[in-house]
Amino acid sequence: MKTPPTILLVVPVAVSFFQLAYGGTVQHQGSTCTVHASDDASDDAPAILEAFQLCGIGGQILLHDDLYHIETEMNTTGLKDVTIDLTGTMLWGTNITYWRANGFELGYQNMTTAWLIGGHNLTFNGHGVGTLDGNGQLWYDFTKGVSNLPGRPISLVIGNTTSSHFDGIRFVQSQFWTMAIKDTVDVLLENIYVNSTSNSSQPARNTDGVDTMFSDRITFRNWTVTGGDDSISTKANSTNILIQDCVFHGGLGVAIGSIGQYNGVFERIENITAERVLALGSRYAGYIKTWTGIQQGFPPNGKYPYQNRFS
């Protein structure tokens, strides 16, 4: 009697892995993308960008490894109904020449950013442990106290964003301003920790906690900020900003401004409320900053030949 042939059944499973040329990998299952960091400390930014491309609309991006190395800029805009879950640390690279030449321009005050994020109905959870580490000491030593070195990037810019929630994120040793919010409406940022302090004789200059511009109905709740400049700053066309239950260590407290830096440009700041704010060792609890109406150069960084790529 002949032995019946063996039949091999192959059952498809909806899991795929994307191995990039360098850096981490993306595990894609349904609407969930899990980013796994590289084993050799190479650039994980391409894998993170791939995850946002695959799951940035109606999905979730999980960043749960201990350490992700970010060596190149990231543009994650046009998102919708997405959850970003970060429990590890994103560590920005040390190539100052690269960052000065490649940051995304903010389109205001000649500022650039290392990471641009934006969209509708974003939920970014850090759970009190997810951290963005800008490797700022390198920048503090490099600038030698120069406040506005051209090309010095903001860690994170939230741009063109609506109806979103950022919760429990930690920012340490930011390269420049920690965060900026531009062209954004109806966003809550709560339980945020910021600490950008220098460990050398060179000061951590212009390490604002967050700056707003051309934005409306933004709430900052339960922030702890230690830095070398404004803790929270509301700049041009910031309206209906609510600041609650925050603690500031050092720095300059809440800044209204600055505005009035550009010839012939009308800027306004309206309805800013700060309540239950504790300022410990800060120069001010709050203050107003305006220019005289006489433009000096191209404020504040000077003109430099980088293409405006904020869109």
Task: Give catalytic residues, as residue numbers.
Answer: 229
How many Cβ atoms sit within 10 Å of the Cβ of residue 310? 21
Q: Rounded to an integer, what distance in angstroms lies between the CA atom of residue 251 and that of residue 243?
A: 16
